[in-house]
Amino acid sequence: MSASENGQVVGVIGPAGFGGSHLCVELIRRGHTVIGLSRNPESFGTCPGYTPRRLDIALASIKDLARAFDHIDVLVSQYGPHTQGADALQYMPYVEVVRKLILAVKLANIKYFIFVGGAGSLLVPETHESLADHPDFFLSYRRQMAESNAHVQHMEERLGPIGYDLRLYRNARLAIKSGKSTTMDLHMIQTYEESIRENDQASDYIKAGRATLLFFEGNTSFRWTFVSPSPLYRPGPRTGSYEITIDYVPLKGVRSKENMLDGRLTGISAADLAVAIVDEIESPQLLHKHWTASADLSNDIAHPCYVTSDDI
Ligand SMILES: NC(=O)c1ccc[n+]([C@@H]2O[C@H](COP(=O)([O-])OP(=O)(O)OC[C@H]3O[C@@H](n4cnc5c(N)ncnc54)[C@H](OP(=O)(O)O)[C@@H]3O)[C@@H](O)[C@H]2O)c1
């Protein structure tokens, strides 16, 4: 496997998933050679510059993983459980799989490992807390998702019941805004918000994502960068512009007394995050850093969750 003149050989774990499929499209458009690694990497499609390599990272040994990383210059992990539905959003096996990936990356001597984790590990400004541990986070997160029809549709497509509940919550909030709410709407909002405050269904998984950062921080025994997509990460247009922030969650607007995160979270489309990652592959600036990228999300037209080789 060799790359074209200026291109690199990039391994993408999870090439047909949400972030992974957008990343493969961006890489191939920009002349890189992609090796897609997952259980069904052929679901990304067929095109020049793309080679599927079947691999179950949960079952493979560290040696098998290292062997599968052969002839790869840069490895990007876009591994995630979402394609298996809402019940797969668990603390385990994510933490264990990430630990194994790192050991295999070291064994294979990968030149640059780009790990895509979650927003939950980003620190809240003026605190020592990560988003996943901040008392205002989950409610602010769901409220802002519910503001966007495109985001709610993305959640329905990907996570079934979590998305359907979010749609009902959005509808009830819209009814209040239009002055046409019923007692059912008020009850819906109250019940939904109580359940989020008590235990958001994605909380264990989001906490797993923030725990994996500890495998990387301060560890210079391999070459890594840790990307946390900004919280309102969703499908959307490719603007080609983004802003990088190190360690902290970028917040917009002014904080209120009651809730410091309400209405202040930012996001990025999967297409723009892919641009940021490929820029980092082509011109590494963020070695041994934990960073996020945020961008304009004002376009609220629903875009597909997953793209394929037909979208190149
Ligand atoms: N706002 C946020 O912070 C945010 C939001 C979304 C995602 N993320 C993060 O982004 C990263 C990628 O998530 P994603 O949602 O883009 O991906 P995803 O759609 O959940 O899944 C990516 C791929 O992982 C592969 N996969 C799952 N189990 C595997 C296994 N045992 N062996 C090999 N491949 C396996 C699947 O491919 P196969 O079925 O072909 O195996 C799947 O297509 C995750 O760390 C996630 O937490 C962050």
Q: What is the pLDDT of residues 242-277, one digit of tens each?
A: 999 999 999 999 888 788 999 999 999 999 999 999
187 shares a domain with 154: yes
70 shares a domain with 168: no
- Which residues approach ligand 1 with their CB closer than 6 A? 14, 16-20, 38-41, 55-58, 78-83, 116-119, 209, 229, 231, 233
Q: Is the dihedral of CA 130, 136, 142, 148 positive or negative?
A: negative
> Containing domain of residue 177, as a range?
137-199
In this structure, is residue 4 part of a structural domain?
Answer: no
Distance 185 CA to ligand 1 centre (A): 34
Which of 18, 213, 297 to mutate to test ligand 1, by most ligand atoms within 8 A of the CB atom? Answer: 18
Last residue of a domain, one of 149, 175, 199: 199
Note the Cα 266 to chain centre separation in Å.
13
d(CA 80, CA 19): 9
Which of 24, 26, 39, 157 to mutate to test ligand 1, by most ligand atoms within 8 A of the CB atom? Answer: 39
pLDDT at res. 266: 97
Average model confidence (pLDDT) for the chain? 95
pLDDT at res. 251: 96
192 shares a domain with 78: no
- Per DSSP, helices labelled H in the chain are 18-29, 62-68, 94-108, 137-147, 149-159, 161-177, 183-199, 203-216, 270-282
Predicted confidence (pLDDT) at residue 5 exceeds the cutoff of 70? no
In this structure, is residue 108 part of a structural domain?
Answer: yes
d(CA 112, CA 92): 25
In this structure, is residue 167 part of a structural domain?
Answer: yes
111 shares a domain with 177: no
Last residue of a domain, one of 199, 222, 243: 199
Distance 86 CA to ligand 1 centre (A): 13
Last residue of a domain, one of 184, 199, 214: 199
Q: Which ligand 1 atom is the nearest neighbour of the CA of 20?
A: 16
Under 8 Å between Cβ of 26 and 280: no
d(CA 154, CA 306): 10
User: Which of 204, 201, 197 lies closest to 120 in space, CA to CA?
Assistant: 204
182 shares a domain with 95: no
154 shares a domain with 20: no
CA geometry: angle at 152 spanning 12 and 14, to 5°? 10
194 shares a domain with 251: no
194 shares a domain with 107: no
Of the chain, the percentage scoring pLDDT greater than 90 comes to: 93
pLDDT at res. 296: 96
205 shares a domain with 289: yes
Distance 79 CA to ligand 1 centre (A): 4
Distance 304 CA to ligand 1 centre (A): 16
In this structure, is residue 3 part of a structural domain?
Answer: no
pLDDT tens across 281-301, in order? 999 999 999 999 999 999 999
In this structure, is residue 101 part of a structural domain?
Answer: yes
Q: Which amino acid is at 241?
A: S
Distance 14 CA to ligand 1 centre (A): 6
92 shares a domain with 13: yes
268 shares a domain with 211: yes
Nearest C-alpha to atom 17 of ligand 1 is from which residue? 80
Q: Name the phi and psi angles at 228, rounded to 5.
A: -105, 115
Distance 80 CA to ligand 1 centre (A): 2
224 shares a domain with 103: yes
In this structure, is residue 246 part of a structural domain?
Answer: yes
Provide the number of structural domains found in the chain: 2
DSSP state string for 159-221: HTHHHHHHHHHHHHHHHHHTT---HHHHHHHHHHHHHHHHH-TTHHHHHHHHHHHHHHTT--S
pLDDT at res. 2: 55
Q: Which ligand 1 atom is the nearest neighbour of the CA of 117?
A: 45
d(CA 48, CA 175): 50
CATH code assigned at 280: 3.40.50.720
